[in-house]
């Protein structure tokens, strides 16, 4: 199996590189090798690699930045997946693409399923939804994996931000009314590798399509921040901030350029039942990642 992996240097790409390498020949490309905002570069990358599988881990992920750079966000998140799909279809290749919980508006009081109506509240969510639709319309065999609140050892993320602020401040306000699930990059990468092994064993009958992939349980940004700080204290980090000094606030008290859904929990029943996959609770999955982050912070 020959795999073309975009975004190889990113938070998710780094974990995918390690998880997918044992499956065959891995060709990893970063932004310097292929800028997904450049349609010609995207086509050239696929035609040059001639892969059996394209794994697209590259994305424009700055949620607030997308409000100021919508055209760039749509080129990378919305248009490029369709181009990857068109090129993959010509080769008979499979495309694995990652999307987001932010395609939903958060109005439901339960986790979202794959068949629930989409209604993104911000440019980032709309651009990622456009990418899903473009890939689906390309005619390529595909796996679209929607995930949430991604956190990994490499790159920037919420956990690293909280640790930095905890070393600088004695008090902190964190939004508590946005529900979701922290999902680790290693969990996403390991699940992707499992799915590709299944695909390699049964390509004609493999159930392609759209799936939700997230850790188990539910959290909110305030609970998540407190959990990170407690773990850092247990690890002996000299923090100025204590969990009790992290104040829960409403989204309206901390306005940002991009609106966020109040509920972006994802129902993973379809993925678990289709492939017989067990997904750990978010705190369990986060523990080894947080341990590695703390060792390098």
Phi, psi of 281 (to 5 degrees): -65, 155
The answer, yes or no, to whether residue 204 has pLDDT greater than 90, is: no
The token duo for 63 is: 């949620």
The listed CATH number (3.40.50.1000, 3.30.750.24, 3.40.50.720, 3.40.50.80) that belongs to domain 2-157+182-217+265-280: 3.40.50.720
The answer, yes or no, to whether residue 57 has pLDDT greater than 90, is: yes
Average pLDDT over residues 79-95: 97
The token duo for 245 is: 């000094």
- The pLDDT-based confidence of 201 (bands split at 50, 70, 90) is confident
Average pLDDT over residues 78-87: 98
pLDDT at 296 (0 to 100)? 86
Query: In angstroms, how far is CA 91 from the centroid of its own chain?
Result: 26
- The pLDDT-based confidence of 297 (bands split at 50, 70, 90) is confident
The full length of the chain comes to 297
Average pLDDT over residues 88-104: 97
In tens, the pLDDT along 262-286 reads 999 999 999 999 999 999 999 999 9
pLDDT at 247 (0 to 100)? 98
Query: CA angle, corner 97, sides to 202 and 120, nearest 5?
Result: 135
- The pLDDT-based confidence of 134 (bands split at 50, 70, 90) is very high
Hey, how many other C-beta atoms are within 10 angstroms of the C-beta on 93? Answer: 23
The token duo for 184 is: 């680790």
Average pLDDT over residues 16-22: 97
The answer, yes or no, to whether residue 200 has pLDDT greater than 90, is: no
pLDDT at 170 (0 to 100)? 96
Please give the model's pTM, rounded to 2 decimal places: 0.96
Q: List all residues 6 or more positions away from 262 whose beta carbon is below 8 Å from its beta carbon.
A: 106, 107, 177, 178, 179, 251
The answer, yes or no, to whether residue 44 has pLDDT greater than 90, is: yes
What does R_g of the chain's alpha carbons equal in angstroms?
A: 19
- The pLDDT-based confidence of 162 (bands split at 50, 70, 90) is very high
Q: In whole angstroms, give the CA distance from residue 208 to residue 205.
A: 9
**Which residue has 């204290």 as its token pair?**
233
In tens, the pLDDT along 209-244 reads 999 999 999 999 999 999 999 999 999 999 999 999
Alpha helices (H) along the chain: 11-20, 39-49, 65-68, 70-73, 80-91, 123-138, 158-168, 185-201, 221-234, 269-275, 282-295
In tens, the pLDDT along 60-74 reads 999 999 999 999 999
pLDDT at 202 (0 to 100)? 77
The token duo for 48 is: 């040059």
Q: In whole angstroms, give the CA distance from residue 70 to residue 57.
A: 19
pLDDT at 69 (0 to 100)? 97
pLDDT at 125 (0 to 100)? 98
The token duo for 16 is: 């995918």
pLDDT at 232 (0 to 100)? 97
pLDDT at 216 (0 to 100)? 97
CB 258 within 8 A of CB 123: yes
pLDDT at 108 (0 to 100)? 97
- Hey, which residues are catalytic here? 124
pLDDT at 203 (0 to 100)? 77
Instruction: Calculate what percentage of the chain has a pLDDT beyond 90.
Output: 97
Buried b (16+ CB within 10 A) or exposed e, 261-277: bbbbbbbbebbbeeeeb
CB 101 within 8 A of CB 266: yes
Where do the domains of the chain lie?
2-157+182-217+265-280
Angle, helix 282-295 to helix 221-234, in steps of 10 degrees: 50
């Amino acid at each position: 199996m020959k795999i073309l992996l975009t975004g190889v240097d990113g938070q998710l790409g780094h974990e995918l590189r390690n998880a997918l390498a044992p499956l065959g020949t891995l060709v990893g490309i970063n932004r310097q090798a292929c800028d997904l905002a450049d349609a010609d570069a995207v086509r050239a990358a696929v035609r040059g690699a001639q892969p059996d599988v394209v794994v697209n881990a590259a994305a424009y992920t700055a949620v607030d930045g997308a409000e100021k750079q919508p055209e760039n966000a749509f080129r990378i998140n919305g248009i490029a997946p369709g181009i990857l799909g068109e090129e993959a279809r010509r080769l008979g290749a499979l495309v694995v693409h990652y999307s987001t919980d932010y395609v939903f508006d958060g109005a439901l009081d339960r986790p979202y399923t794959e068949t629930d109506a989409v209604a993104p509240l911000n440019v980032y969510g709309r651009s990622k939804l456009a990418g899903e639709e473009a890939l689906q319309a390309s005619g390529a065999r595909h796996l679209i994996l929607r995930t949430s609140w991604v956190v990994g050892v490499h790159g920037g993320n919420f956990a690293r931000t909280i640790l930095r602020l905890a070393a600088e401040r004695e008090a902190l306000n964190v939004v508590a009314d946005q529900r979701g699930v922290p999902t680790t990059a290693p969990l996403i990468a390991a699940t992707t590798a499992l799915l590709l092994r299944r695909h390699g064993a049964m390509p004609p009958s493999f159930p392609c399509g759209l799936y939700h992939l997230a850790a188990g349980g539910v959290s909110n940004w305030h609970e998540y921040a407190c959990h990170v700080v407690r773990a850092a204290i247990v690890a002996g980090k000299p923090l100025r901030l204590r969990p009790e000094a992290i104040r829960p606030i409403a989204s309206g008290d901390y306005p940002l350029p991009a609106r966020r859904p109040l509920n972006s929990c994802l129902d993973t029943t379809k993925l678990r039942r289709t492939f017989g996959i067990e997904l750990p609770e978010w705190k369990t999955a986060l523990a080894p990642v947080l341990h590695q982050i703390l060792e390098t912070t």
